[in-house]
Structure 1
Amino acid sequence: MYSARERVENEEWIERLDGVAEELDLDADARSTAVDLFLSNVPEKERSKRAVLAASLYAGALIESDARSQGAVADAAGVARLTIQQRWKELLREAGLEPPSW
């Protein structure tokens, strides 16, 4: 879980996440879940935040049955598809969810 302080400290990144979610036309539940995943896993290094943002969007959309392809999310977020592929399952585990085996 995350604190209100973390939300305030990462407001710029939440705005970026919302912008990418808008580009992907994700529904409100997918966006909310993505924000929760992102804030629960914010890395300390600034350069890693874009990767976690993209993986959070992919995983959040998947959880809320509003899935987009890894490639589409990667393109919209400005990261490589491999970046999402390497991170999204760990985000689910950190959230206490079991990622699919496919």
Structure 2
Amino acid sequence: MYRASDEVEHAEWLAELEAAADRLDLDDAVRSRAADLFLSTVPADDRSKRAAIAASLYVATLVGGDRRAQGEVADAVGVSRLSVQQRWKDLLEETGLDAPDW
């Protein structure tokens, strides 16, 4: 869970998340879920925030039924596919979400 002040504090990062969501042409529900995931688990280190954005977007697409490739999400955010691959399962677990059945 996060506070409303977290949105203000991390506005710059949320703008990057929105820009990546625009590049991926994601719907509002997926964008909202990704922002919630990011704000609920935002890392302290600025270097990790871009990867956290990518993982949040990827998980939001999985949970929202708008599945995207890890590489596609990584490219939209400007991180490596490995960054997404290393973080998305932990994010699911940390937030109590279930992975979709494939």
TM-score range, shorter chain: over 0.9
Distance 1:101 1:28 in 2: 23
Structure 2-normalised TM-score?
0.95
Structure 1 partner of 2:31: 31
Deviation, 1:98, is: 2.8
Partner AA of 2:31 in structure 1: R
> Residue in 1 aligned with 2:47?
47
Structure 1 gap segments, 5+ residues each: none
Give the TM-score normalised by structure 1.
0.95
Q: How many residues align?
A: 102
Letter in 2 for 1:42: V
Moved over 2 A (4+): 98-102
CA displacement at 1:67 relative to structure 2: 1.4
Report the equivalent of 2:18: 18
Match of 1:89 in 2: 89
Aligned residues: percent identity?
57
- How big is the alpha-carbon RMSD for the aligned residues of Structure 1 and Structure 2? 1.3
Taking the TM superposition and a 5 Å limit, the aligned residue runs for 1:61-76 are 61-76=61-76
Unaligned 5+ segments in structure 2 are none
- Deviation of 1:29 after TM superposition, in Å, equals 0.7
